[in-house]
Amino acid sequence: MEAAARRASRFWLLVDQIAEAVLAVDPSTVKINYSINKKPADPYNFLMGSRFEFNKSWEARVEAGFIGREQLLASVAYRWAW
């Protein structure tokens, strides 16, 4: 138990040191150089989906993609009556 408390104490000391170092930096002086080469893995994808309203308040949606990329999107939504 005592060893766990010492590890936790060291962890929070480290978190405090990192926070102090981050807060001491003026964001206007920081310059980040980066580059990115972004392109789709597959330019085309076949999608199939459906949307179903259970009642005026609840609906569900499912969409699946295949042939090239495999993906699945699902959502449930609730509409409040205004």
Look up the pTM and report it: 0.47
Q: Which residues pair with 31 in a beta bridge?
A: none
Provide the 3-class DSSP secondary structure of residue 82: coil
Q: What DSSP assignment string belongs to 33-79?
A: --------SSS--EEEEEEEESSSSEEEEEEEEESSS-EEEEEEEE-
Per-residue model confidence (pLDDT) at position 5:
83
| Res 1 pLDDT > 80 | no
| Res 27 pLDDT > 80 | yes
Mean pLDDT along residues 66-79: 92
